[in-house]
Amino acid sequence: MAINLTKGQSIILSKTQYDLSQMIMGLGWDVGKSGGFWGKLLGFDLDGYALLLGEDGKLKHTNEVISFQNLQSADKTVVHSGDNLTGKGEGDDEQIVVKLGSLPEKYHKIVLGVEIFTARMRKQHFGMVKNAFVRAIDAKGIEIARYSLSGNASYDGKICMLMGEIYKHAGDWNFRALGDALDSDRDGVIKSFLG
């Protein structure tokens, strides 16, 4: 049975009965009113991404950002499912597959984020996003943990969200729910993690 996490809560993945040879990080959301002229014309487009961080918690290079623009890491151990332009439908809107058993030793943390594409132009923010979640699924398709974000007034005006992270601690892989809403777009987030 999956564990429902709260903000800041973490679980040790390595000490579970799940098959961690491959983990799927599912990201999902629903949207409310689109906001502004451009928002109504173009709709709502959220984009998931993963930051592959070293032991120091930093990105070494921008090619270690896995997103709709860079669908896989050079060694193919982290793969993005591709861009979902609408968020319509049930289940995961985007997925990021992480082959934990093959992940290079240099990576100690993977931060999972979502941004609203061209949010400022479209006058959109995370206060308009409903039923956002990140979930960890094992190689057999069994859900391990889920972190759900409901409408929150503190998300108004925020255009990027760090949803969760997979990280190594004392040799074990863990998953932590983050829920950090940010004013910055993805490029700004990437700059803050570059080492």
DSSP letters, 60-93, are S-GGGEEBTTB-B-TTSSEEE----SS--SSS-S
Q: How far is CA 24 from CA 11, 37, 52, 95, 96, in A?
A: 16, 36, 15, 6, 6
Beta strands in 8-153 (DSSP E): 10-12, 23-31, 46-53, 65-66, 78-80, 94-98, 109-116, 129-137, 143-149
Residue 36 φ/ψ region, left for φ over 0, alpha for ψ in the -120 to 50 degree band, beta for the rest: left
Confidence check: pLDDT of 90 > 80: no
pLDDT of residue 41: 43
pLDDT of residue 110: 94
- Please report where in the chains the tokens 């990105």 appear, as a residue: 59
pLDDT of residue 111: 94
Cα 152–Cα 159–Cα 108 angle in degrees, nearest 5: 95
Tell me what the pLDDT averaged over the chain comes to.
84
> What 3-state class would DSSP assign to 104?
coil
User: For 39-66, what is the mean pLDDT?
Assistant: 84
Q: In the structure, what pLDDT confidence band is assigned to residue 188 with cuts at 50, 70 and 90?
A: very high
Q: Are 127 and 158 in contact (CB under 8 A)?
A: yes
User: For 18-38, what is the mean pLDDT?
Assistant: 73
Q: In the structure, what pLDDT confidence band is assigned to residue 34 with cuts at 50, 70 and 90?
A: low
Confidence check: pLDDT of 183 > 80: yes
160/86 Cα distance (integer angstroms): 17
> pLDDT for 122-131, tens place per residue?
888 888 887 7
Q: In the structure, what pLDDT confidence band is assigned to residue 78 with cuts at 50, 70 and 90?
A: very high
Confidence check: pLDDT of 36 > 60: no
User: For 21-36, what is the mean pLDDT?
Assistant: 74
119/158 Cα distance (integer angstroms): 9
- Ordered by start, the domain boundaries in the chain are 3-193
- CB atoms under 10 Å from CB of 140, counted, come to 9
Q: Where is average pLDDT lowest: 6-20, 29-43, 72-86, 177-191?
A: 29-43
Residue percentage of the chain with pLDDT more than 70: 88
Please name the fold of domain 3-193: Lipoxygenase-1 (2.60.60)
User: For 100-111, what is the mean pLDDT?
Assistant: 92
**How would you class 83 by CB atoms within 10 Å of its CB: exposed for 0-12, middle for 13-18, buried for 19 or more?**
middle
pLDDT of residue 77: 94
pLDDT of residue 63: 92
Q: Kind of pairing, strands 129-137 and 65-66?
A: unpaired
pLDDT of residue 32: 57
> pLDDT for 130-182, tens place per residue?
778 888 888 999 998 888 876 677 888 999 989 889 999 888 888 888 889 89
